Amino acid sequence: MIQHLTSLPVLLPMLAGVVLLMPPCGKNKQIRRFSSVALSFITLLASVLLLLQVDEMGNTTYAIGDWQAPFGIVLFADPLSTLLVSLTSLLGLVCALYACAGDDEKGSFFHPLLHFLVLGVNGAFLTGDAFNLFVFFEVLLIASYSLLMHGGDKHNTRAALQYVIMNLVGSAVFLIALGILYGVLGTLNMADMANKVTHLEGDDVFLAKIGGLLLLVVFALKGALLPLHLWLPNTYATAMPVVAALFAIMTKVGVYSMMRVYTLIFGDEAGELSHMAQDWLWWLALATICMGAIGVLASHDLRKLVANLVIVSVGTLVALVAVQTEDASAAAIFYLVHSTLVTAALFLLADLIGRQRGKVADRVTIGRPVTQPILLGGAFAIAAITVIGMPPLSGFIGKVWLLRATFESDYGAFFWGLYLLASLALLVGISKAGSTVFWHHQNKTQDNAEPVKAHKFQIAAVFIVLMGAPLLVVFAGDMSNYAIEAAKQLHDFSANTSVVLGEAK
Amino acid sequence: MEILYASCVGLLVACGVFLILRSRTFPVVLGLTMLSYAVNLFLFASGRLTLNKAAVLGYSSDYADPLPQALVLTAIVIGFAMTAFVVILAIRGRADLGNDHVNGQVPTNNNKGKA
């Protein structure tokens, strides 16, 4: 059981998805909801057990079907990947719980698709094989296409069509990149690729560089990095908020793949090819932060505002990836956890606020007051403080850490100025939106709709993700130690390759 | 053989890219299909183009690299599923939006600029 634990975060959601399609769960709403939440909880449990195991016993690999690396496909669990797997499983649980309040009945197969999405994301985090990464990308994408259409109207169809076409082109580019890299390196196992890159000579170096930079295009598309971010605001703003909250982890898959590929394969040891993506990533990341901040100021509704916050967080993470020091990676890991949780919470809150304001929904205009101003207002204030990065919540720690990590880098001063200005823009944008939504309202309401109260599942779900902010502060010491350890493992070239290829000393 | 193969892949990619940049969904879907054909051929070639090599191990001392064949098979299956999905989505888009323009409305001079 212990040695198969690595495969469970991938296998359990798959089984869950299949079970939820079958008769008792497929027919009965109550049973389906209960089993979906229970199965998400089991997945989370397995992920956390794996995290504890890796923390205790070090990095583990799992050869699928016992076909050994580099020919077989391996799953590779290190502190970083297990942390992200646990985060995904937690998000899956929260979204399943939230959807039980009624969102899951607006279309078909919400719960099975949710589990398939978790399967794809967990697989992408755990896999140690570049082609397998492509396969898991496709698994999570096909689930996300269907979830995006869930309970949608015509704006939704348009956004989905563009999203699907963008991603299909992305997949084609991904395959071309993999073809080039396989042709040059003769392997697709990431650790083995990292080994082989160090011995490249002559024209092969340039081919590998083309392959590596094509991969960058793909990951930039998945991660929504400028100029490939244009699909994101529309897609996230037209998807159902609970789906958008789940998607909060999807841009992080792109960022994670960048971390893996450009620190392991094209990292310090790669000779001529080391740090080849750094210059590109750095400037694109800064431009992404700018665009995100402008988007936040220009947003007319809360969901679009949060979608732009996602873009800002992607830009910040990619800037940290581009610095490529251990400290920067540790800051990125901390920031990644924090930003995923808080954007998910904000998407869910935007939904709750929109429901209670009748016709104006979540638009930032004068409308009728929300039915539960203290509950929602308080939650929104906590989330806003966290996402802007003001003390005392987790955003502040993340921000201080990332500013310290970029201080040493060549263009640190530039980053500081730009990032702090962007934070100011965020502060202005979010406070304007918050004060309009909660304090400016008509006294007489024209629409006589029944006051809507948030369902207890919805409140529970929002507060579970929102608890991340204070908890990341209370346990900041443990969390930052963990992030530092994870970053150390990520940068440890020889340990990574020897564990995967079974040459452990 | 290499030149013929490479120009085939190149031509397919060029046609695919051209069609993807069209504004109606049907050419875009065709473009995606062509691009995925080109990708499949390209992946197949990443194991090097050779003549007279056995595909099955053990029947010959000379054998072709089996991995690209496995990769192409996977890519074909995934590409097929994705194409089926995008066709259905395009049909639904045509029904929901009333036209087959990728932006959901046909740009004319008098309603230019409306989202």
Q: Alpha-carbon distance B33 to A198, whole Å?
A: 36
Q: Min CA distance, A71 vs chain B (Å)? A: 9
Residues 142 through 171 of chain A touching chain B, CB cutoff 8 Å? 142, 145, 149, 153-155, 157-158, 160-162, 164-165, 168-169, 171
Q: Are A171 and B90 inside 8 Å of each other by CB?
A: no
* CA A34 centroid distance within chain: 26
Q: Are A183 and B104 inside 8 Å of each other by CB?
A: no
Q: Are A138 and B78 inside 8 Å of each other by CB?
A: yes
What is the pLDDT averaged over residues A51-79? Answer: 84
Query: Per-residue pLDDT for A505 more than 50?
Result: no
What residue in B sits closest to A142 (Cα-Cα)? B82
What is the structure's pLDDT at B115?
42
Q: Which of chain A's residues have a Cβ under 8 Å away from the Cβ of B97? A: 154, 157-158
What is the pLDDT averaged over residues A424-450? Answer: 78
Average pLDDT, chain A: 86
Q: Alpha-carbon distance A253 to A219, whole Å?
A: 8
Map tokens 């304001």 to a residue.
Answer: A357
Query: Per-residue pLDDT for A88 more than 90?
Result: yes
What residue in B sits closest to A234 (Cα-Cα)? B115
Helix axes A130-149, B66-97, angle to 10 degrees: 10
Q: Are B85 and A142 inside 8 Å of each other by CB?
A: yes
What is the structure's pLDDT at B31?
93
What is the structure's pLDDT at A470?
86
What is the structure's pLDDT at B7?
94
Cα–Cα distances (Å) from A223 to A135, A171, A237, A365, A495, in that order, read: 17, 14, 16, 31, 28
Q: Min CA distance, A207 vs chain B (Å)? A: 12
Q: Are B97 and A138 inside 8 Å of each other by CB?
A: no
Which residues have C-beta within 8 Å of that of residue A371, sequence separation ≥ 6?
A: A356, A451, A452, A453
DSSP string, A65-80: GGPPTTTS-EEEE-HH
Handedness of CA A283, A284, A285, A287 (dihedral sign): positive
Q: What is the pLDDT of residues A350-407, one digit of tens each?
A: 888 888 877 777 787 777 777 788 888 888 888 888 888 888 888 888 888 888 888 8
Q: What is the pLDDT of residues A118-165, one digit of tens each?
A: 999 999 999 988 899 999 999 999 999 888 888 777 778 888 888 899
Q: Under a CB-based contact definition with an 8 Å cutoff, are residues A389 and A293 in contact?
A: no
Using alpha carbons, select from A261, A234, A228, A264 the residue that is nearest to residue A247.
A234
Residue type, A456: K
What is the pLDDT averaged over residues A10-14? Answer: 91
DSSP string, A109-166: -HHHHHHHHHHHHHHHHHB-BHHHHHHHHHHHHHHHHHHHHTT--HHHHHHHHHHHHH
Q: Is B26 on the interface with A (CB under 8 A)?
A: no
Instruction: Give the A:B interface size as CB pairs under 8 Å.
Output: 88
Q: Residue A423 is inside which H or E element, if any?
A: helix A412-439
Query: Per-residue pLDDT for A490 more than 50?
Result: yes
pLDDT band of residue A446 (cuts 50, 70, 90) is: low
What is the pLDDT averaged over residues A330-347? Answer: 91
φ/ψ of residue A279, rounded to 5: -60, -45
What is the structure's pLDDT at B46?
86
Q: Under a CB-based contact definition with an 8 Å cutoff, are residues A140 and A117 in contact?
A: yes
What residue in B sits closest to A139 (Cα-Cα)? B78
What is the structure's pLDDT at B34?
93
% of chain A exceeding 90 in pLDDT: 24
Q: Under a CB-based contact definition with an 8 Å cutoff, are residues A114 and A147 in contact?
A: yes
Q: Alpha-carbon distance B47 to A45, whole Å?
A: 42
Q: Alpha-carbon distance A460 to A477, whole Å?
A: 27
Which residues have C-beta within 8 Å of that of residue A218, sequence separation ≥ 6?
A: A170, A171, A173, A174, A177
Q: What is the pLDDT of residues A412-436, one digit of tens each?
A: 778 888 888 999 999 999 988 888 8
Nearest beta carbon to residue B97 from set A145, A158, A169: A158
Q: Under a CB-based contact definition with an 8 Å cutoff, are residues B29 and A165 in contact?
A: no
Q: Under a CB-based contact definition with an 8 Å cutoff, are residues A396 and A335 in contact?
A: no
Nearest beta carbon to residue B43 from set A149, A161, A179: A179
What is the structure's pLDDT at A504?
39
Query: Per-residue pLDDT for A240 more than 70?
Result: yes
Q: Residue B106 is inside which H or E element, if any?
A: none
Angle, CA of A296, A80 and A277, to the nearest 5°: 65
Q: Alpha-carbon distance A265 to A270, whole Å?
A: 7
Query: Per-residue pLDDT for A34 more than 70?
Result: yes
Q: Alpha-carbon distance A473 to A467, whole Å?
A: 10
Q: Is A298 on the interface with B (CB under 8 A)?
A: no
pLDDT band of residue A459 (cuts 50, 70, 90) is: confident
Average pLDDT per consecutive 10 residues, chain B (115 residues; last block may be shorter): 91 94 90 92 86 75 82 91 90 84 72 46
Nearest beta carbon to residue A157 from set B81, B82, B93: B93
b/e code A239-260 from CB counts within 10 Å (16+ = b):
bbbbbbbbbbbbbbbbbbbbbb
Q: Is A444 on the interface with B (CB under 8 A)?
A: no
Q: Which of chain A's residues have a Cβ under 8 Å away from the Cβ of B90? A: 161
Q: Are B32 and A172 inside 8 Å of each other by CB?
A: yes
Nearest beta carbon to residue A161 from set B20, B43, B89: B89
Q: Where are the domains of chain B?
A: 2-97
Q: What is the pLDDT of residues A160-217, one digit of tens each?
A: 888 899 999 999 999 999 999 998 888 888 888 888 888 888 888 888 889 989 999 9
Q: Under a CB-based contact definition with an 8 Å cutoff, are residues A223 and A247 in contact?
A: no
